[in-house]
Amino acid sequence: MATEDIDTLIIGGGQAGLAMSAHLREQGKPHLVIERHRIAERWRSERWDSLVANGPAWHDRFPALDFDDIAPDAFAPRDRIVQYFETFAAQIDAPIRCGVEVTELVQDGGGFVARTGDGAIRARNVVVATGPFQKPLMPVMVPEDQGVTQLHSNAYRNPAQLPPGAVLVVGAGSSGAQIADELQRSGRKVYLSVGPHDRPPRAYRGHDFVWWLGVLGLWDATAREPGKEHVTISVSGSRGGHTVDFRDLAAGGITLLGRAHGFDGGKMRFQDDLARNIAEGDANYLSVLDTADAYAEAMALDLPPEPQARHFGPTPDCVTNPILELDLKAAGISTILWATGFALDFGWIKADAFDDKGRPRHDRGVATVPGLYFIGLPWLSRRASPFIWGAWHDAARLAQHIAARG
Ligand SMILES: Cc1cc2nc3c(=O)[nH]c(=O)nc-3n(C[C@H](O)[C@H](O)[C@H](O)COP(=O)(O)OP(=O)(O)OC[C@H]3O[C@@H](n4cnc5c(N)ncnc54)[C@H](O)[C@@H]3O)c2cc1C
């Protein structure tokens, strides 16, 4: 098969790949986007049916295209997000080739060769845009022979997909909290294992949390606060957007549990850390209110005070008297849904560009190997990097870098 030549190859046709294409076009750089499935594939086939954006439509978008049919403060549904990226690809006439997977990327002279089922592509520059959430992480805790269905949140679609019975959701970040809520509302008995988390207010004093992150400069943070590296964040745009409060989930009938840490003789074990995790989540919530209040005062902003935001409901019994061991059969649990996050997987890139844990070595997306770039990764340049508008701004900077290579 002949080898094709292109100046810059973008691997991945999600939001980050499309943002990159838009900015390379602006720089007049010839390029090609290769996508193994379809545009925005992960929003189509690795997200649940009822998912809506975690941020409002005025925010979770590219500056170059509005959601013209959605109120700015509303949260775009998953299918509308897919359509948004398709529209955007057409708007910029993105040179995208779908249904082609890059199976290997190797260094070749001063550039790279990408191997695909369709032949090889030689490129001087390569931008890896294969996503912040590539490989589902599912702890090997419960043996397969326990007669319990186990799936990762990226394979969850809707309550009807699961066998009848109660569900244990492990992980209470945005995915776990939203899925547990949906399952409970569909009539399921739900157990939710809650680890350390941040749970910022959806909105405060008339402004959404993402607005506060902007004015407080927190989207620009370049690294997680020390000690918070493994703390997940729980936010939700569902049901019009609301603050995640685990007390509300418990009041609705969900049984909260501490962090899952083992399985033996049909019983799942949980750490005695639920009350602490809830208290630390509350402290995080209150610290956002405090920071926002201090900013509003310092800037003399005329925002309506919201003292009721500081009142919490009663502590549920499952927090006061935590269950430390749960017999899955006796509890009628037929499904364990692991909302336990994702890992990176760059095993297909054969270049000296990774540390001993397989993490790319880069400076804000510019890899240590000249001509190689990464985009869309968590904390690539700052907190905003894996999100829709954050990837847009990283793409602008990386396109300038590529153009400067001549
Ligand atoms: C449940 C969930 C909800 C989220 N909600 C929001 C939100 O509301 N707002 C927000 O801003 N962010 C959200 N995010 C974070 C982030 O925006 C998404 O993860 C988004 O999909 C990342 O876009 P991306 O283009 O960087 O990567 P991806 O969407 O993962 O796109 C990568 C693309 O690369 C393709 N690909 C991978 N490997 C290859 C290969 N070897 N060859 C060819 N193609 C390949 C994949 O098929 C895929 O289409 C959410 C994430 C999750 C998990």
3-state secondary structure at position 289: helix
Q: Is the model's pLDDT at 33 over the cut of 70?
A: yes
**What would the mean pLDDT of 315-344 be, rounded to a whole number?**
98
State the distance from the centre of ligand 1 to the C-alpha of 133, rounded, in angstroms: 7
Give the torsion sign (CA, 243, 245, 251, 254): positive
Beta strands (DSSP E) in 145-219 are 149-152, 166-170, 190-193, 197-198, 203-204, 207-208
DSSP classification of residue 154: G
279 φ, ψ (degrees, to nearest 5): -65, -40
| 4-134+344-404 and 137-338 share one fold | yes
pLDDT interval class at 337 (50, 70, 90) = very high
Q: For residue 261, what are its two tokens?
A: 């840490």
Q: How many C-beta atoms surround the C-beta of residue 349 within 10 A?
A: 25
Q: Whose CA is nearest to atom 38 of ligand 1?
A: 130
Closest CA to 166 of 149, 146, 153: 149
Q: Which atom of ligand 1 is nearest to the CA of 375?
A: 26
CA separation for the pair 391, 406 (Å, rounded): 23
**What would the mean pLDDT of 273-291 be, rounded to a whole number?**
98
How many residues comprise the chain? Answer: 406
Ligand 1 test: best mutation among 15, 21, 154, most atoms within 8 Å of CB? 15
Which residues are registered as beta bridge partners of 120? 3, 115
Q: Pick 4-134+344-404's CATH classification: 3.10.50.40, 3.90.1150.10, 3.90.1150.220, 3.50.50.60.
A: 3.50.50.60
State the distance from the centre of ligand 1 to the C-alpha of 292, rounded, in angstroms: 31
State the distance from the centre of ligand 1 to the C-alpha of 294, rounded, in angstroms: 35
Q: Is the CB of 269 under 6 A from ligand 1?
A: no
Q: Is the CB of 20 under 6 A from ligand 1?
A: no
pLDDT interval class at 2 (50, 70, 90) = confident
**What would the mean pLDDT of 51-60 be, rounded to a whole number?**
98
Q: Is the model's pLDDT at 1 over the cut of 80?
A: no
Which residues are registered as beta bridge partners of 373? 127, 366
**What would the mean pLDDT of 73-92 be, rounded to a whole number?**
98
Ligand 1 test: best mutation among 181, 388, 392, 394, most atoms within 8 Å of CB? 388
CA separation for the pair 145, 338 (Å, rounded): 17
Which residues are registered as beta bridge partners of 106? 113, 350
Domain map of the chain by residue range? 4-134+344-404, 137-338
List C-alpha distances in Å: 382 to 15, 16, 30, 181, 224: 17, 15, 28, 30, 9
Ligand 1 test: best mutation among 38, 46, 54, 127, most atoms within 8 Å of CB? 54
Burial class (CB in 10 A: 0-12, 13-18, 19+), 130: buried
Closest CA to 237 of 386, 76, 388, 82: 76
Secondary structure element (H or E) that encloses residue 325, with its range: strand 325-327
Q: Which atom of ligand 1 is nearest to the CA of 391?
A: 26
Q: Buried b / exposed e across 39-52, counting CB within 10 Å, b at 16+?
A: bbbbbeebbbeebb
**What would the mean pLDDT of 342-346 be, rounded to a whole number?**
97
Q: How many C-beta atoms surround the C-beta of residue 164 within 10 A?
A: 8
Q: Whose CA is nearest to atom 28 of ligand 1?
A: 131
Closest CA to 175 of 331, 319, 342: 342
259 φ, ψ (degrees, to nearest 5): -70, 130
**What would the mean pLDDT of 148-166 be, rounded to a whole number?**
98
The pLDDT value recorded for residue 83 is 98
Residue 334 CB contacts under 8 Å (≥ 6 apart), including other chains: 148, 149, 162, 163, 164, 165, 166, 167
Q: What percent of the chain is predicted at pLDDT more than 90?
A: 98
Q: Which atom of ligand 1 is nearest to the CA of 376?
A: 26
Contact by Cβ (8 Å): 163, 149: yes
Q: Is the model's pLDDT at 229 over the cut of 90?
A: no
The pLDDT value recorded for residue 51 is 98
Secondary structure element (H or E) that encloses residue 357, with its range: none
3-state secondary structure at position 321: coil
State the distance from the centre of ligand 1 to the C-alpha of 343, rounded, in angstroms: 13
**What would the mean pLDDT of 380-389 be, rounded to a whole number?**
97
Angle of helix 388-404 versus helix 15-26 axis, rounded to 10:
40
Q: Which atom of ligand 1 is nearest to the CA of 38?
A: 49
The pLDDT value recorded for residue 69 is 98
Q: Is the CB of 102 under 6 A from ligand 1?
A: yes
Contact by Cβ (8 Å): 142, 25: no
State the distance from the centre of ligand 1 to the C-alpha of 12, rounded, in angstroms: 9
Given the DSSP bridges, would you call strands 203-204 and 207-208 parallel, antiparallel or unpaired?
A: antiparallel
State the distance from the centre of ligand 1 to the C-alpha of 17, rounded, in angstroms: 10
Residue 108 CB contacts under 8 Å (≥ 6 apart), including other chains: 122
Q: For residue 25, what are its two tokens?
A: 């076009």
Please give the model's pTM, rounded to 2 decimal places.
Answer: 0.97
Q: Is the model's pLDDT at 24 over the cut of 70?
A: yes
Contact by Cβ (8 Å): 366, 401: yes
State the distance from the centre of ligand 1 to the C-alpha of 40, rounded, in angstroms: 7
List C-alpha distances in Å: 315 to 211, 278, 366: 30, 10, 48
Summarised one tens digit per residue, pLDDT across range 109-137 is: 999 999 999 999 999 999 999 999 999 99
Q: Pick 137-338's CATH classification: 3.50.50.60, 3.40.50.80, 3.40.50.620, 3.30.465.10.
A: 3.50.50.60
